[in-house]
Amino acid sequence: MTTDALFTWNALGTLTGAALFTFLVVQYTKSLVDRWLPGLPTDVYAILVGWAILALAQVASGASPVDWRLYLLSGANGLLVALAAGQMHNKVVSELGAGEPEPNNKSIPS
In a domain, residue 103? The reply is no
Number of structural domains the chain divides into? 1
End-to-end CA distance of the chain: 56
Alpha-carbon distance values, 6 to 57, 62, 74, 86, 93 (Å)? 14, 20, 22, 22, 24
In a domain, residue 104? The reply is no
In a domain, residue 110? The reply is no
User: Given this model, what pLDDT does residue 80 score?
Assistant: 92
Q: Per mean pLDDT, which range of 1-5, 23-27, 79-83, 89-93 is the poorest?
A: 1-5
In the predicted model, is pLDDT for residue 36 greater than 90? yes
Radius of gyration of the chain (CA): 19
In a domain, residue 108? The reply is no
* Structural domain that includes position 45: 9-94
In a domain, residue 25? The reply is yes
In a domain, residue 4? The reply is no
Question: Which percentage of the chain shows pLDDT scores above 70?
Answer: 82
